[in-house]
Structure 1
C-alpha cells in the first residue's frame, strides 16, 4: 500500500496537534521584525508580537521558505517511509512559496504533486486536510491533489480590515486604493478571488462591515454543507461576535460542526494589520 504524505506551509494555520495527528508536515514561512528573521510559529514571531510591531511602526516583512527548506520536508517525509507527497500551499499569486515547492519537487527523492490552493489561511488548511482525508480513505496521490484543489476552489474567503495601509506596505494593493480608502474613511471588505486580494465592498462603519460579512458568508454557503473558519489579528471580541453570528445563521449548514476560530498567523497578520477579522466558508465535497 503506497504511503502518501501531505506537506503544507505555515500560512495554512493548522494547529500543531491537528497537523501531527494527521501526519501533515508543515514548512514555515519567515517573518522579519526589525532586522531579525524568525520562522512563523516560533516564540519570537507570534501574532501578538507582529501586531505590536505594526502598531509601533517597527518594520515587518515576510519571506517564502527557500526551495532547500521545502526539500528538507520532502526528504524527511521520504526518510519516514513516504513514497509520494502531495504538497498544498497558499496562493502563488501572493507568495513565492508555491514556486519554492515546485523547485524542491524537482530534487525530491520521491514524486511530489504540488497544489496551488489559490487561497490563504483556513481555506488552504482545509484543502490540505481534504487531501489527508482522501489518502486515509485509500485514495491515490493524484486523487488527493485533485480533491485539495476542488476544496480550495469552492471556498470563499472574506475579510475586513481597519485600514488598507498594511496591505499597501506589503505591496498587496496599490497606494492609490489605500489613500482613497483612508480619505473617504470607508471600511473595506475584501475577498480572495483568482488567487489575489480583491476589493469587494465598502461600508461606513465597523458594525455594518461585520454584519455584511455575515450576510456574505450566508450567501456563499447557500444550502450546502460547510465548514466555517473565523480568524482575527488582535481582535478577539469582534471574532467572537462573528463566530456567534455566522454560527447561528448557518447552523443547518454546519450540522453540528463547530465554527473554527483562531488568531491569524504572523505572516498573514503582517499584511492585514491589527483589527482584521475574516470568515471562510468551505463547502464539503
Structure 2
C-alpha cells in the first residue's frame, strides 16, 4: 500500500487532481442562515456581501472518520494530514484532537500549511506525489512541512472588513486597507494575514501582485497557483504576466476560491501562491 494524504476543502484542489492522487478531502462548512452546508459536497449559492453568511471548521469527529478511512486505505503505511493555518481556522486543532482520540500520533502526522487555499493545496500536491511514488511516511511528512514553509502567498482584496470581522486580520491593518487605499495587498506571514502594501489604483495593485510573485518564484522552477473569486479574466491575465516574467515556471494552476474562503475575502479577490523549488 502507500501513505495517504488528507486535506480540507479549503485547499482549492480540483476533483481531477484529488482523484488522480488519491487525496482524501474533509469538507468545511458554510453557514447560510440556519443552513449548514458542506463545502464541495452540497451545492450552495451565496450572497458574499451578506452578514448572515459565515463558515465553520470540520469537527474532530468528522476529521477522525476521514483519518481512519485514510489509514485503512494506506494498509498501515500512515497518513499525512495537511490543513489550513491554525491561525485562520480551528480545523488543525480539531485534527489534533481527532488524532489524540484515535491514539494514532505515530501514524497520522498533522501539518499546519501556514496558509489557506492553494497555499495548502500546493504542499498537499507535493506530499501526495511523494506518497504515490511509494515514499515512506517520514519522507511524505517532511515534504509537506518543507513545502508549507517555502510557500509565499499574496492576496488582493477589494475590502478588508470581512477579514477583520472574522478575526483574520488586525483592526489596524483593516483600517489601513479599507480607508486609505482602494486595493489593499495582503500577505500570509507565519500563517497570519498581514497588510503588505497600500496601493491606490487597481492597475498599480495588479502590477505589485505580479512583481511580488515573480520575486518569490526565484530561479529554481516554481509551482504557481492563481486564485480568484468571480474574476476569471483578471486571474488569467495575472497568470500570463507571471508566467512571462518569472524565470522558470514548472507548474501553474488557476482556480476559483471556494465558498469557505470566498466568504471572508469577498468578490473580486485575487490570490497568488508561489512554491519555489521541490521537496528534497
Is the counterpart of residue 233 in structure 1 residue 229 in structure 2? yes
Distance 1:213 1:185 in 2: 15
Following TM superposition, by how much is the alpha carbon of 1:81 offset from its aligned partner in structure 2, in angstroms? 4.7
Distance 1:68 1:43 in 2: 19
SS at match of 1:107: helix
Could you tell me which residue of structure 1 aligns to residue 99 of structure 2?
Answer: 105
Could you tell me which residue of structure 2 aligns to residue 34 of structure 1?
Answer: 33
Could you tell me which residue of structure 2 aligns to residue 72 of structure 1?
Answer: 65
TM (normalized to structure 1)?
A: 0.91
* Residues 241-281 of structure 1: CA deviation (Å, up to 9, x unaligned): 1111111112x4115x3x21111011111111111001111
SS at match of 2:54: strand
Could you tell me which residue of structure 2 aligns to residue 15 of structure 1?
Answer: 14
Contact kept in structure 2, 1:228 and 1:260, CA below 8 Å: yes
Could you tell me which residue of structure 2 aligns to residue 254 of structure 1?
Answer: 249
SS at match of 2:267: coil
Could you tell me which residue of structure 2 aligns to residue 62 of structure 1?
Answer: 55
1:92 corresponds to which of 86, 90, 96 = 86
Contact kept in structure 2, 1:75 and 1:109, CA below 8 Å: no
Gaps of 5+ in 1: none
Contact kept in structure 2, 1:74 and 1:109, CA below 8 Å: no
TM (normalized to structure 2)?
A: 0.93
Is the counterpart of residue 266 in structure 1 residue 259 in structure 2? yes
Contact kept in structure 2, 1:151 and 1:282, CA below 8 Å: yes
Number of corresponding residues: 275
Gaps of 5+ in 2: none
Contact kept in structure 2, 1:74 and 1:108, CA below 8 Å: no
Could you tell me which residue of structure 1 aligns to residue 202 of structure 2?
Answer: 206
SS at match of 2:121: helix
Distance 1:242 1:81 in 2: 39
Distance 2:188 2:51 in 1: 27
What's the Cα RMSD here?
A: 1.7
